[in-house]
Structure 1
Amino acid sequence: MSLDTVVEDIRDEARARAEEIREEADERAEEIVAEAEADAEQIHEEREAEVQREIEQLREQRLSSAKLEAKQARLEARRDVLEDVHEDVEQAVADIDGERREELTRSLLSGAASEFDDGATLRVYGRADDQALIEDILTDYDDAEFAGEHDCLGGVVVESEASRVRVNNTFDSVLESVWEDNLKAISDRLFDSQ
């Protein structure tokens, strides 16, 4: 065997081995590419699902926020309407005049006076426009005098010199009591169709 033949045999073996290594490398490269593509597809699907979840979550948050804003706007509008109605009622109460005003003032003064001991000296306060009316009504009481103005829609505030008791029987206090007691019914009646 000659040296050329040995060299040629070694070269053939080397070529065969190189071809075998190349084929193994190509197979391994194909496996790696296939694994990478599968991983990429899985990552893509997971990311797409995550993006869809984020979109759905954001949509839910915005919808919830919009519903809350709408509810707050509706409540604010209702509150505004109730305030307007309250102001209209206050004006209607302030506008009561004549015999009806005298009758209500007498009743409120009588109720307030009954809270004090007999013989107590009473100071009575009322609306400036009602001073003459109150002074006229006070002629029926022995120990009572008009003591001055009170900022109110009508009625009286009565206090005694002998005690620390002060009775607020103004139209305002009666209106507020009635308003608070009936606010739900008023609201239901105003907004029953909504």
Structure 2
Amino acid sequence: MSLEHVVDDIKDEARARAEEIRADAEEEAEAIIAEAEADAEAIKDERAAEVESQIDQEREQALSSANLKAKQQRLEARRDVLADVREEVEVALVELSGDRRESLTEALIANAATEFDDDATVTVYGRGDDQELIEGILTDYDGFSFGGERDCLGGVIVESDTSRVRVNNTFDSVLDTVWDENLKELSEHLFEQ
């Protein structure tokens, strides 16, 4: 064999080996590319799921926040309505006149009088506009006198220094009690759903 022939054989062998290395490299590159594409697709799907989850979470938070705000606005509107009703009742009590005001004031004084001894010196306070009415009622009670004006819707505050007893029978205190005891029922009536 000639040297040329040996060189050709080495070249052919080198070419075959180079072709084999290139084929292996191409096969390995294709595998790496396929794996990278699969990883990229998995990452893309994962990110899309995360984004969808975040969108759902933000949507849920926005909806929850809107529901809470609407509920707060409804409660505030209800409080406003109840405050308006309370104010209308107070105005009606202030404007109450004639026999109805007199009979209510008499009943409140009579109720308070039961808390004092018969020989007690009792001072009765009331609304300035009711002074004449109160003084007229007090003529039926020994030891009772009008002591002056108090800021109230009507009714009386009755007290005695000797027995250290004080009875608040104002329209305000009666309204507070009735209001507190019946607020739930009133709310249900006003805001039936």
Instruction: Determine the structure 1 residue equivalent to 2:89.
Output: 89
Aligned with 2:162: secondary structure? coil
Instruction: Determine the structure 1 residue equivalent to 2:69.
Output: 69
The two structures, once aligned, show a CA RMSD in angstroms of 1.0
Aligned with 2:163: secondary structure? coil
Gaps of 5+ in 2: none
Q: Distance in 2 between matches of 1:100 and 1:35?
A: 94
With normalisation by structure 2, the TM-score equals 0.96
Instruction: Determine the structure 1 residue equivalent to 2:37.
Output: 37
Q: Distance in 2 between matches of 1:53 and 1:159?
A: 69
Detail structure 1 runs of 4+ shifted over 3 Å in the superposition.
none
1:37 partner amino acid: E
2:182 partner amino acid: N
Q: Number of residues paired by the alignment?
A: 193
Shift of 1:78: 0.8
Instruction: Determine the structure 1 residue equivalent to 2:14.
Output: 14
1:13 partner amino acid: E
With normalisation by structure 1, the TM-score equals 0.96
**Pairing 1:121–2:130 present:** no
Shift of 1:2: 2.9
Instruction: Determine the structure 2 residue equivalent to 1:78.
Output: 78
**Pairing 1:139–2:139 present:** yes
Q: Distance in 2 between matches of 1:48 and 1:174?
A: 65
Q: Distance in 2 between matches of 1:117 and 1:20?
A: 123
Shift of 1:3: 2.7
Q: Distance in 2 between matches of 1:162 and 1:14?
A: 128
Gaps of 5+ in 1: none
Q: Distance in 2 between matches of 1:147 and 1:77?
A: 41
Q: Distance in 2 between matches of 1:182 and 1:64?
A: 32
Instruction: Determine the structure 2 residue equivalent to 1:176.
Output: 176
